[in-house]
């Protein structure tokens, strides 16, 4: 991959990071989302080691876990 092909992805990542740093997150929500992401990444990594595609499955697991942790937090807030 040459520099010109990586430049748009790098700029998009920097822009996303800049947008996220401006967000204020409830501490409990952040903890639950982070815990979900960690558990999901671990599960995805385990599946990836067994079936192949380690990185893709780890990232997918992390995203699914983060979403699950966030949804769980929202359910707990509405109780």
Q: pLDDT tens-digit profile of 38-57? A: 999 999 999 999 999 888 88
16: pLDDT strictly greater than 50 = yes
Q: What is the pLDDT of residue 53?
A: 87
> Residue 52 has what DSSP assignment?
S
pLDDT for 32 beyond 50: yes
The predicted model gives 17-37 an average pLDDT of: 77
Domain boundaries, the chain: 3-77
pTM for the full predicted model: 0.67
CA-nearest of 71, 7, 13 to 37 is 71
| pLDDT score of 55 | 84
Measured between alpha carbons, how far is 45 from 54 in angstroms, rounded to an integer?
Answer: 6
Averaged pLDDT score across all residues of the chain: 82
């Amino acid at each position: 991959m040459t520099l010109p092909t990586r430049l748009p992805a790098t700029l998009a990542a920097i822009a996303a990071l800049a947008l996220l740093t401006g967000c204020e997150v409830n501490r409990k929500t952040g903890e639950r989302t982070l815990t979900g992401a960690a558990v999901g990444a671990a599960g995805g990594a385990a599946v990836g080691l067994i079936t192949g595609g380690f990185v893709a499955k780890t990232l997918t697991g992390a995203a699914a876990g983060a979403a699950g942790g966030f949804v769980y937090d929202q359910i707990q807030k509405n109780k």
